[in-house]
């Protein structure tokens, strides 16, 4: 009876075939769970962002498995994975690649940087200088790399999983609002449950669990699934619901900065993927309610009043959601 255990499969007519998405997603989830245990909701958001072709920001204190999550995701899907360790001295060209002059051939040749991959793991993105952050973020938004006047398109699926330490940690450059807005969702991994931590000790003592992780799908398949997710039905009432929700963040006195129109698009795309992962070919309010905090909260700035009441953006979004009536019968 709990949320998501029933897959609505009744009815007929033309519709997205979501059965395969569920099957693939279950396989990927199963694979990753051999590495990271006890975090099904985080995994679900990560898969949602993958299928919705967005980028994921994983924010938490060091050592809780942020990088492990990203690596496991890249390993479970058989595709190219690149890892960039952001440091204060990292240059933009270290990410995008450089043109190298070949003396013998007397021409420049482009040496693609680590961003040319299906899944790019940006570790501790807030340690890099703003200039370097901006270079990555341009790639994320445009899905192409421009060097010396030439644009090179990045291959689909393209997903940046960036990890960042909370902003008050030492030696960090906080991502500005405009750049946080490029990430479709933000999740916190959080500390594992005691039992999961016990299991972890056993699993990690012998060898790295990543070694045993075999790919369960490939990039072409993911691309195909992402195409199908785009056709998940969003009823007019549901679109209105999303717009109302985003609007309420703009008018709420507790927020200094509301969500952008990009947030609206991200929320709808994520909701489609989330519904498909649940085996539905249409979006329901529950999808939006589950995604509102991960998709919206990192884009918002609480007002000073809300700050004094120690209200976080997550709490404010949850409150807004709990006040908005779901769309009724048309």
Partner 1 sequence: MRALRPLMPTATLVSLVAAVPLLGTIVTGPGWWFPAVLMMVGVAAASALYRLTGWSATAVPFLQIFVMAVLLTPLFAAHTAVLGLIPTSGTFPELVRLLERGIDAVNTGTPPVTGTAGVALIIAVAFAVIAMAADFLAVTARCPGMVGGLLIALLMVPLVVDDGGVAPGAALSAAVGFLVLLSVDMWLRGREWGLPVPDGRDPSVRFLVGLRRAAVAAVSVTAAVLLTLTVPLAVPSLRSDVIHQAADGTYIGNGPGVITTTHPLVSLRSNLASGSDRTVLTYTTDAEEPDYLRMYVLDEFDGVNWAMSPVDADDDSRIEDDLPLSAGWSGEPDGPTATTRISMDSDAPSLDFLPMPYWPRSVDVAGEWYADPGSLMVFTTDSPRTGLSFTVESTSVTPSADELAAAGQAWSAPGSLLALPDDVDPRVAELTETLTEDADSPYERAVALQEHFTGGGFDYDLTPPAVPEGADPLVHFLLEDRVGYCEQFAGAMAVMARQADIPSRVATGYTAGQRMGDGRWAVTTGNAHAWPELYFEGVGWVRFEPTPASADGQGTATVPDYTDGTGGDATDGTGRDEEPERPETEPGPDDEPESDEPTDAPEASATPGGEGTDESAAGPASGSGGWTVPVWLPVAAAVLGGLALVALPALVRTAVRGSRTAALTGGSPAAAAHAAWRELRDTCVDLGVTWDLTESPRATAARLAARGPLPEEARAALWRLALGEESARYAPEPAVVREPREDLRAARAGLVAASGRGDRFRAVLLPRSLAPWRRPRPDLGPAPTAA
Residue for token pair 């960036």: 162
To partner 1, the closest distance from the beta carbon of 327 in angstroms equals: 7
**Which C-beta is closer to partner 1: that of 45 or that of 271?**
271
Residues in CB range of 241: below 8 A, 6 or more apart: 285, 288, 324, 326, 327
To partner 1, the closest distance from the beta carbon of 284 in angstroms equals: 5
DSSP per-residue letters across 121-164: EEETGGGS-HHHHHHHHHHHHHSEEEETTEEEEPPSS-EEEEEE
Candidate list 251, 261, 304, 310; residue touching partner 1; CB under 8 A:
251
What residues are paired with 151 via a beta bridge? 146
Find the part of the chain contacting partner 1 (CB under 8 A) among 50-58, 70-78, 146-154, 315-323: 315-323
- Give CA–CA dist 279/24, Å, rounded: 11
Reported as type and span, the H/E element at residue 90 is none
Candidate list 230, 286, 312, 315; residue touching partner 1; CB under 8 A:
286
**Which C-beta is closer to partner 1: that of 56 or that of 271?**
271
Residue 261 binding partner 1, by CB under 8 A: no
Residue 240 binding partner 1, by CB under 8 A: no
Residue 113 binding partner 1, by CB under 8 A: no
Residues in CB range of 219: below 8 A, 6 or more apart: 77, 78, 79, 80, 118, 155, 156, 157
Residue 253 binding partner 1, by CB under 8 A: yes
Q: What is the DSSP letter of 297?
A: G
Residues in CB range of 11: below 8 A, 6 or more apart: none
Q: Are 185 and 54 in contact (CB under 8 A)?
A: yes
Residue 260 binding partner 1, by CB under 8 A: no
Find the part of the chain contacting partner 1 (CB under 8 A) among 108-116, 145-153, 247-255, 307-315: 247-255
**Which C-beta is closer to partner 1: that of 141 or that of 305?**
305
To partner 1, the closest distance from the beta carbon of 6 in angstroms equals: 7
Residue 30 binding partner 1, by CB under 8 A: no
Q: Name the phi and psi angles at 160, rounded to 5.
A: -95, 125
Q: What is the DSSP letter of 15?
A: -
Find the part of the chain contacting partner 1 (CB under 8 A) among 1-9, 50-58, 71-79, 259-267: 1-9
Candidate list 281, 293, 299, 316; residue touching partner 1; CB under 8 A:
281
**Burial of 161: CB neighbours in 10 Å, binned 0-12, 13-18, 19+:** buried
Residue 304 binding partner 1, by CB under 8 A: no
Residue 224 binding partner 1, by CB under 8 A: no
Q: How many residues does the chain have?
A: 330
To partner 1, the closest distance from the beta carbon of 96 in angstroms equals: 38
To partner 1, the closest distance from the beta carbon of 246 in angstroms equals: 13
Candidate list 233, 240, 262, 309; residue touching partner 1; CB under 8 A:
233
Q: Which residues bind partner 1 (CB under 8 A)?
A: 1-3, 6, 8, 10-13, 15, 233, 235, 237-238, 248, 250-253, 255-256, 258, 281-286, 289, 303, 321-330
């Amino acid at each position: 009876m709990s949320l998501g255990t029933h897959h609505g499969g009744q009815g007929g007519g033309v519709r997205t075939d979501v059965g395969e998405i569920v099957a693939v997603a279950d396989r990927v989830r199963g694979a990753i769970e051999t590495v990271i245990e006890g975090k099904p909701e985080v995994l679900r958001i990560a898969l949602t962002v993958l299928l919705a072709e967005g980028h994921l920001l994983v924010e938490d204190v060091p050592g809780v498995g942020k990088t492990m999550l990203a690596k496991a995701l890249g390993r479970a899907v058989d595709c190219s994975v690149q890892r960039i360790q952001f440091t204060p001295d990292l240059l933009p060209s270290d990410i995008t690649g450089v043109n190298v002059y070949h003396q013998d051939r007397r021409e420049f040749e482009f040496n693609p940087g680590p961003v040319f991959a299906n899944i790019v793991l940006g570790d501790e993105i807030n340690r890099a200088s703003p200039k370097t952050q901006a270079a990555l973020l341009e790639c994320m938004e445009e899905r192409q790399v421009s060097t010396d006047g030439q644009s090179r398109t990045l291959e689909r699926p393209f997903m940046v999983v960036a990890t960042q330490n909370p902003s008050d940690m030492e030696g960090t450059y906080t991502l500005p609002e405009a750049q946080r807005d490029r990430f479709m969702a933000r999740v916190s991994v959080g500390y594992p449950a005691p039992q999961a931590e016990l299991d972890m000790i056993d699993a990690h003592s012998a060898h790295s669990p990543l070694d045993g992780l075999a790919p369960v799908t490939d990039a072409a398949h993911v691309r195909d699934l992402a195409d199908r997710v785009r056709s998940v039905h969003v009823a007019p009432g549901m679109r209105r619901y999303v717009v109302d929700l985003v609007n309420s963040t703009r008018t709420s006195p507790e927020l200094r900065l509301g969500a952008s129109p990009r947030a609206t698009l991200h929320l709808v795309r994520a909701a489609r993927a989330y519904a498909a992962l649940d085996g539905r070919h249409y979006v329901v309010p529950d999808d939006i309610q589950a995604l509102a905090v991960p998709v919206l909260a990192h884009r918002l700035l609480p007002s000073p009043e809300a700050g004094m009441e120690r209200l976080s953006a997550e709490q404010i979004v949850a409150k807004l959601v709990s006040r908005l009536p779901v769309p009724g019968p048309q």
